[in-house]
Amino acid sequence: MVQKKISAGVIVLLLSALPVLGQLRPGDPAAVGMSRAGLDRVTGLLDSEVHLRGVDAASILVARHGTIVLHKGFGHLSSETGSPPVEADSVYVVGSITKTVTATALMILVERGKVSLNEPVSTYLPEFTGGDRNKVRVINLLTHTSGLPDQLPENNQLRQAHAPLSEFLKHTYSTPLLFTPGTAYSYQSMGILLAATIIEKLSGMSIQDFERQEIFEPLGMMHTSLGTGKFRLADTVQVQVGTETDMQAFRDWGPNSTYWRDLGNPWGALHTTTADLAILLQTLLNGGTNGRKRLLGPMTVEAMLSNQNAHLNAPWGLGWRLGNSPGMNLGDLLSPRAFGHNGSPGTMEWADPETQVICVVLTSRPLVVDNGLFLRLVSNAVVASIEK
């Protein structure tokens, strides 16, 4: 056998091409046990949905063991004639995926000794008092067990009036609770608003600035902001609408309005890309580090991704949906340890510690159209692409 001597320079070059912990790089699917044919089927599903079934835009990223095996965009930013094509990393408003970032921000303050999850919310927000509100603990805000409603009864009126977030907060302080805190599960966005308010009060920063300085910049999520940030609304994917009436509402106070996009609500206004969301998912798979920056400690990550609602038979992590959480699931083939979230504009993200696979699918078609069925079908096809 002829042995060839490899120079030190070549070794350095080869090592530099390997995935760095937490940093995602393109690579060969076969090298990480993924089927190219299976991933082609995933691509076919997205391509067909865009060209045949009325989805204006879609982007997907699939990775395993830090290697990106599929990263592609489909369609156009909007349904308007001449709209630019969608890229693999076009910017979307991702709806309730935003909640996972707000929860992660709060856990940073938990680690720093600024807040306790088991303390009443009123300790940090004295205005949140009266009745059973004194029984709402910080942890209830992240596990959807606070008794607060998903949206305020006055939600539409506030949005139509272009109310600031302070008005939403004021109503959250007084809106009736649906049940005694901690005794039931009910998905709630207003609890996330309170979590963000705690972050602002304890950090002395806006939630937008805190997330930018403590999460996005350290992790290299350079195309992410709460609110439109540096992005022009016209350069982002537009959420699809049905009737002309809906279109007017979407443009005036709905998900395509400058008001709603710029409001920076902490439960639904994150603007981001498939790659940036994958960075955060990979960081959590790594136990809280991306190789350059430790975002959270491993015990914190374990708590975030563990079932906090075992007593209610409603599995949920700290801000993160789990593989067997109630409601709209992330796919039929994920393990119970999988974690992620979906968003009403037609978005989904997940990572599964059992397989080390990450999947981010962002589309322009609201979940309400098919109750998220298409995204779950894509998720199943991604899992089916795992060969070993």
- 298's enclosing H/E stretch is helix 298-304
pLDDT of 308 reads: 97
The maximal CA–CA distance of the chain, rounded, in angstroms, is 82
State pLDDT tens for residues 74-100: 999 998 889 999 999 999 999 999 999
Backbone angles phi, psi at 49, to 5 degrees: -65, -35
Question: What's residue 243's pLDDT?
Answer: 54
Which residues in the chain land under pLDDT 70? Answer: 1-22, 242-247, 250
Which residue(s) pair with 269 in the sheet?
95
pLDDT of residue 291: 82
Coil, helix or strand for 140? helix
Tokens 């206004």 locate to 269
Q: What would the pLDDT profile of 103-150 be if each residue is shown by its tens digit? A: 999 999 999 999 999 999 999 999 999 999 999 999 999 999 999 999
CA 185 to chain centre: 20
The CATH number of 92-351, from 3.40.710.10, 3.40.50.1980, 3.40.50.2300, 2.60.40.1510, is 3.40.710.10
Helix 36-52 with 373-384: angle, nearest 10 deg: 160
The strand ranges marked E within the chain are 25-26, 57-64, 67-75, 92-93, 225-226, 270-272, 321-322, 339-343, 347-352, 357-363
Q: Are 128 and 121 in contact, with CB atoms under 8 Å apart?
A: yes
